[in-house]
Amino acid sequence: MAASSRPSVWPDLSAKLVARMLSAHAGIGVVLGALLYIVSLSGVMVVFHAEFARWEQPHITEVSAASPELAARSAQTLLDHASAAGETPDRISVFLPTPDSPRLAGGYGDTYWFIDESAALGETIDHGFSEFLIDLHYYLHLPSTLGLIVVGLLGVMMLALVVSGFLAHPRVFRDAFRSHKPGNGQLSLADRHNRLSVWGAPFHIMIPLTGAALGLATLVALTLAQTQPGMTVNAMFDTVFGPGAEDTAAAGPLPDIAQALRVVESDFADAGLTPWIVQIENPGQDGQTLQILTAANQRLIFGEYLQFSPDGAFIGKTGLDDGAFGQQATASVYNLHFGNWGGVPVKLIYVALGLALCVVCVSGVQLWLYKRARKKGPQPRLERSWIALVWGPPALTGLVLALDRVLGLADAAMPAVFWIGLLIITGLSMFTPSTAMLSRGLKLSGSALILIGAGAHFLAYGVSGYQSPAAWGVFAGLMISALALGVNALTASTPLRAPKPAPADPQVQA
């Protein structure tokens, strides 16, 4: 059949420009793959964010519970501290001990303290590294609203990749139980990709689905608020999470916190609700209110908001634990996404499945690079930049940890160290003489930096300072991670090399 003579709607472009555009397109694909991988990898670490926070200050005395009277005195101590400093806080919060965080704490504004058994303020809470991990996973260190939307869109993209991957490979379930002979790089990689994709399919669908729901909730609220006259984003969220306490008190003493907590313990224990966070809005001022966020034991919902009158009498709740199905489902998304519903065993399962998801992300891009190399020939710069984007984040996380523990790196500088470092590593990777050296160097660097950070922290507090069991668990996890990186660097085979282009088909040439 003769080729159509109809002119193209596109202007003629030089072959050089086309090649550059194709290269840019490939680069964008690698960057998006890297962002999906970074979100997945940081999510693995954030599963243990409460344990990381306890590890950062391991010497703090931990308690299983705090009496209602102690909680009330703690709130008064916070208000007295603010008054002495000439401050008028909009809210005072008291955090009661929970299984994940068995410490009494409280604060206002941007400052929070641990509180001892006499209701005195102790050491300032400093969770810089764990907050760095949380902000990386939640926002990619972007401004909060923009970051949530970007991460939510990445969740949608990951979900689309999972679904389209199954639809594009009708034999994926059968191939998940097949194994090719070692040495065939592409087939071995495909085996690994297919197996982990199928075996972890429920998790790989649930995680991006809940992540997209968390990330895009703000975008949906912003959009709907623009279409409804007089509607605001806060009002949109109030339809699910409630508008907060409404029974206000005049300026004077704080509401009766102790009585409110006794009511929770006596009337809501059978429902599995335990006090978690005491919130006093406008403390000591006109319009002060009392609300207690309770944790829901053995439930997927994150908790229930209870409102109290100034004298500590119960006046209502939001309904997250027994309200409409949509409310309960929305309140369950967070715990379902992060595994905060079954203790350490469930968290370990989430870590294993999360690491499998990281491997799926990495192997998917590697397969694409492999096929691209077969068609267009080796592209070492693109391949080395991908190696940098895969092994750079663990190494840079180790760098942030080491700088924080050894030099006291400022919290605000941590994101800059990570992202600027990633740009530098990626740029320099294109000029490294071999992919093997690049991969091995990044792995060994990550291993050494994690060992330095964890070791410096342990030496700073000593055995006697590690009073928290979670601190020992995180320390062991960091040691295992560092050793795993080091062993992998020294024993892993040479990274996947781009094959030579496939020979041309004679029929096509003819």
Closest of 356, 360, 350 to residue 165, by C-alpha: 360
Q: What angle do CA 164, 501, 379 make, to 5 degrees?
A: 75
Q: Quick one: DSSP state of residue 288?
A: B
Mean pLDDT across the stretch 313-334?
84
Query: What size, in residues, is the chain?
Result: 510
Task: Write down the pLDDT at residue 3.
Answer: 47
Average pLDDT of every residue of the chain: 84
pLDDT confidence band for 373 (50 / 70 / 90)? confident
Q: How many CA atoms lie within 13 Å of 210's alpha carbon, on the beta-carbon side?
A: 19
pLDDT confidence band for 346 (50 / 70 / 90)? very high
Task: Write down the pLDDT at residue 172.
Answer: 65
Instruction: Report residue 395 CA to chain centroid gap.
Output: 18
Task: Write down the pLDDT at residue 159.
Answer: 86
Task: Write down the pLDDT at residue 249.
Answer: 66
pLDDT in tens, 138-182: 999 999 889 988 999 998 888 888 887 777 666 666 666 666 555
pTM: 0.85
pLDDT in tens, 32-55: 889 999 999 999 999 999 999 999
Task: Write down the pLDDT at residue 217.
Answer: 73
Mean pLDDT across the stretch 259-263?
97
Residue 6: burial class (beta carbons within 10 Å; 0-12, 13-18, 19+): exposed
Mean pLDDT across the stretch 171-199?
69
pLDDT in tens, 74-124: 999 999 999 999 999 999 999 999 999 999 999 999 999 999 999 999 999
pLDDT confidence band for 507 (50 / 70 / 90)? very low
DSSP for 181-246 reads: PTT-HHHHHHHHHHHHHHHTHHHHHHHHHHHHHHHHHHHHHHHHHHHSTT--HHHHHHHHH-----
Q: Contact 37/389 with Cβ under 8 angstroms?
A: yes
